[in-house]
Amino acid sequence: MNKNKLYHFFTILIIAFLFGCTVNQGYKALNEYNYFKAKKNFEQKQKHHNLAGKYGLAVIYERNDNPFHQLDSAYAEILSVKKQFVHLPEKKRAQIKKFHIDSVSIDSLWNRINQKLFTKYVKANKLDSFILFTKKYPESVYLDTVQSIVMAKAYQQAVEQNTAQSYHQFLLLYPDAPQAKEAQFKYQQRLFIENTLNANEQQVADFLKNNPDNAFYRQAEKKLYDLVTQNGNPEDYLRFILKYPNNSYVESAWRKIFALTVKSYTAENLNKFLSKYPNYPFKQEIYEAIALMQKIVLPARKNEKWGYVDEQNRLVIPFIYQSADTFSEGLAIVQKNDRYFYINKKGQAVFESDFEEAYPFKNGLAIIGNNELYGIIDRSGNIVLPVIYEYIDQFYHHRAPIAHNNKYGIINDDLQWVLSPVYESIGTFESGITYFSKQNKFGIIDTNGNLITKAVYSSVDLSDTSFIRVKTDSMMSVLNNNGKTIVPAQFNYISKKKNHKAIVVKNNLYGYLTDKGKLLIPPTFSYNEETDFYAHFNSLGYAVMKQGNKFTLIDTTGKKIVPAIFDRIKPFYYENLIPVKKGTLWGTIDLKSKLLIPYQYKDIYPIADTTLLIAQKDSLYGVINEKNEPVIPFAYQALEVLQYPYFLAKKNDSYGVITIKNTILPFEFDKITLFKNKWFLSEKNNETRYYKIPEPFKSRK
């Protein structure tokens, strides 16, 4: 070995010895808590990149019981130790083992330092602090946790600002954040709101053009649709269609034009609509609707289920419903699973919605109800008036009463308020005017809610608007349709008018008024609870009057026409065919009291506008003429006029339909009624069938 090499060998041995002594002294001082000496010794070793010295310094900096406590420095030293230890030869690892430095102790100190740093920044709990943590300690074991906190706090900050810019900035900084998907949604939502909330038509159109992928594109289309059509007239909807043909609401606009234009659902109106709007995209629907209008479809029942048949009783729609209504404007209400919905004449549900209550369509609108609240839908099933009202009645004269928050107002058939809800109740406008109530008193208003009378009456009867009966306390009076008094409040009771005359009662005596309010016969006749049923004047100018226990006839002067010797007198239509009763039997007389048909029947019923009478003899019924000649034999258990000349007759406990000459329906039915004055509706073995009524006879005599 030459001198040079030998020199270096001994030098290394001396340095290693000295370093070892220094480390030993450092750890000895550290164990004695002599941090100044320990730090000085470790720093000397650190200058030579000694791992043991760095570890010692990391321990000093990590401990908080000395003036050198500094976690940033501790982190730097232990990080350096970790990196050096990975590449440290086993021989070197064995040398530092005596200082209790190994992978376990290094990891333990690393974890403690990281945890203390993390705790420090968590206590600060500020976004900027956490961001600083990620920059200063990129290899920390808490880096992922802190990054999650950073993203959460950054997102929360964006949410608090709640602007498109705040969400956009978050997405730029943290594109892979767990909140990125939600942030993207909120960004697009705020972008939509900020660009459309108070925007005009052009601004919304620009937003749609510039943001075709926005999640709220459809809502923006709706916003544009609402802006263009806010006046609600067909011209605006057509302008929308022509200007924005690719908008998703073009179909809705066409449907709205149809609903606004076709108020009365008739073939004539549908054809007019097609002529006016030749580009209507749903022409085929209209062609089918016109064709179906010609088709007669009638509700029918079989085995407790309802369906529909045609005029020949051929099945059109299966028997699958709990109930089925007649068709109105091409749609019918059916019930299934205790819910109501609408079908067309093909049996197809015309829209998906169903309801707890449903009413027929009229002029393209229908009232529906859920949870005892009501609204209005159009023919497409769109709710055009929200289901928030306690009451809505049918439209008459383009007006309907409606209740909200227990107050009644008026809407028109454009569903606009005519009178805001201010009254306790409002009646229908069937007669063009109606009643209202306020503080438990009634008055009268017109279709615009204008007062005709104040609310001063305890009751109002509008069944005849030319003869409006009103009651104030215990007295009644009569008004015309302008609210003008035509009969002052001087009577205890005033009846409805019949044949231009009304019964009036005062102090339990009755007389008569004309429909102009003129006193015809002063109250001189004794009034009882049955008077209103028998004492009205007929079209011939005669009225039945009770005198004691007997009945007579009077004319319009109050003069008796026949003696008061009859036990009953029924309504009559001819002066020589007056049904009267003596004892237990009935016959007929004329105005001279001449007996024309002897007292031989248990009962008789004049048939209106004919000289025929239904008569009962023993227990059977038949029909006789004014000469007491039977025109229908006494062979029936029951007999009544359905629609002259057709009689509903019962024989052998079954029903049929007959005329004077023929049997129209055989006696085999459990029940027969009239349906819309066009069909006989029969029922047999829990099944209904229809029979077209033949043309009635021209003569009714």
- Give Cβ neighbours of residue 339 (< 8 Å, ≥ 6 apart): 354, 355, 356
Which residue do the tokens 């209209």 mark?
286
Report the run of H or E that residue 190 belongs to, with start and end: helix 180-196
- Please enumerate in sequence order all residues whose Cβ is within 8 A of that of 608, keeping only pairs 6 or more positions apart, or say none: 573, 641, 644
pLDDT of residue 238: 97
What dihedral angle (degrees, nearest 10) is formed by the CA atoms of 554, 555, 557, 558? 10
Tokens for 55, please give them. Answer: 């570890």
On the question of pLDDT at 39 being above 80, the answer is: no
Q: Amino acid identity, residue 74?
A: A
- Give 493 or 137, the one with higher predicted confidence: 493
208 contacts 224 by C-beta, under 8 angstroms: yes
Q: What is the pLDDT of residues 284-321, one digit of tens each?
A: 999 999 999 989 999 999 999 999 999 999 999 999 99
pLDDT in tens, 407-423: 999 999 889 999 999 99
SS3 of the chain: helix, strand, coil, percent, to 5: 30, 35, 35
pLDDT category of residue 1 using cuts at 50, 70 and 90: very low
Sequence-ordered list of residues with C-beta below 8 angstroms from that of 389, at least 6 positions apart, any chain: 373, 374, 375, 402, 403, 404
Residues 129-152 as b or e (16 or more Cβ within 10 Å = b): bbbebbeebeebebeeebbebbbb
Q: What kind and span of H or E run contains 179?
A: none
Alpha carbon distance 153, 127 (integer Å) = 6
**Per-residue pLDDT at 625 exceeds 70:** yes
The predicted structure's pLDDT at residue 459 = 97
Q: Which residues contact 368 (CB under 8 A, 6 or more apart)?
A: 340, 353, 355, 357, 358, 359, 374, 375, 376, 377, 387
Give dist(CA 641, CA 632) in Å, integer. 13
User: In the predicted model, what is the mean pLDDT of residues 45-62?
Assistant: 78
pLDDT band, residue 182 (cuts 50/70/90): very high
Q: Inform me whether the pLDDT recorded for 28 exceeds 80.
A: no
Cα distances (Å, whole numbers) of residue 2 to 14, 192, 457 = 19, 87, 138
At residue 130 the predicted structure's pLDDT band, cuts being 50, 70 and 90, is: confident
Place of tokens 């029924």: 570
Q: Where are the beta strands (DSSP E) in 294-446?
A: 298-302, 305-309, 315-321, 323-324, 332-336, 339-343, 357-358, 365-370, 373-378, 383-389, 391-392, 399-404, 407-412, 417-423, 425-426, 434-438, 441-445
Torsion of CA 318, 324, 327, 333, to 10 degrees: -110
Tokens representing 681? Answer: 């509706």
Q: What CA–CA distance (Å, rounded) separates 375 from 159?
A: 38
Report residue 663's pLDDT band, with 50, 70 and 90 as the boundaries: very high
Cα–Cα distance, 696 to 680 (Å, whole number) = 13
Q: Does the structure show a pLDDT above 90 at 38?
A: no
Average pLDDT over residues 451-479: 96
Burial of 8 (0-12, 13-18, 19+ CB in 10 A): exposed
- H or E stretch covering 557: none
Which band of pLDDT confidence, cut at 50, 70 and 90, is reported for residue 199?
very high
Q: Does the structure show a pLDDT above 80 at 5? A: no
Instruction: Give a three-class secondary structure readout of 671-684.
Output: EEEEECCCEEEEEE
- Do the beta carbons of residue 511 and residue 523 sit within 8 Å? yes
**Mean local confidence (pLDDT), 443-458:** 97
The answer to whether 58 and 38 have CB atoms below 8 angstroms apart is: no
Res 40: pLDDT: 77
Taking the domains of the chain in order of start, what are their residue ranges? 3-124, 145-196, 638-701
pLDDT at 27 over 80: no
pLDDT of residue 651: 97
Residue 17, pLDDT above cutoff 90: no
**Confidence class for position 125, pLDDT limits 50, 70, 90:** confident
Element (H, E) at 390: none
For residues 505-521, give the mean pLDDT: 97
- Paired tokens of 238: 């057509």
pLDDT at 397: 94
φ, ψ for residue 470 (rounded to 5)?
-130, 155
**pLDDT exceeds cutoff 50 at 700:** no
Q: Is the pLDDT of residue 42 over 80?
A: no
Cα angle: 120, vertex 123, 126; to 5 degrees: 105
HEC-encoded secondary structure of 417-460? EEEEEEECEECCCCCCCEEEEECCEEEEECCCCCEEEEEEECEE
Q: What's the pLDDT tens digit per position in 517-556?
A: 999 999 999 999 999 999 999 999 999 999 999 999 999 9
In this structure, how many other beta carbons lie within 10 angstroms of the beta carbon of residue 406?
10
Whether residue 6 is predicted with pLDDT greater than 80 in this model: the reply is no
pLDDT at residue 36 in the model: 74
What fold is seen in the domain 638-701? Thrombin, subunit H (2.40.10)
Query: Mean pLDDT over all residues of the chain?
Result: 91
Angle at 45 between CA 39 and CA 48, to 5 degrees: 140
Q: What pLDDT does residue 33 have?
A: 67
CA 566 to chain centroid, in Å, comes to: 61
Q: How far apart are CA 500 and CA 464, in angstroms?
A: 11
How confident is the model over 67-77, as a mean pLDDT? 90
Q: How many CB atoms lie within 10 A of CB 502?
A: 26
CA distance 241 to 497: 56
> Using 50, 70 and 90 to split pLDDT, how confident is the model at 4?
very low
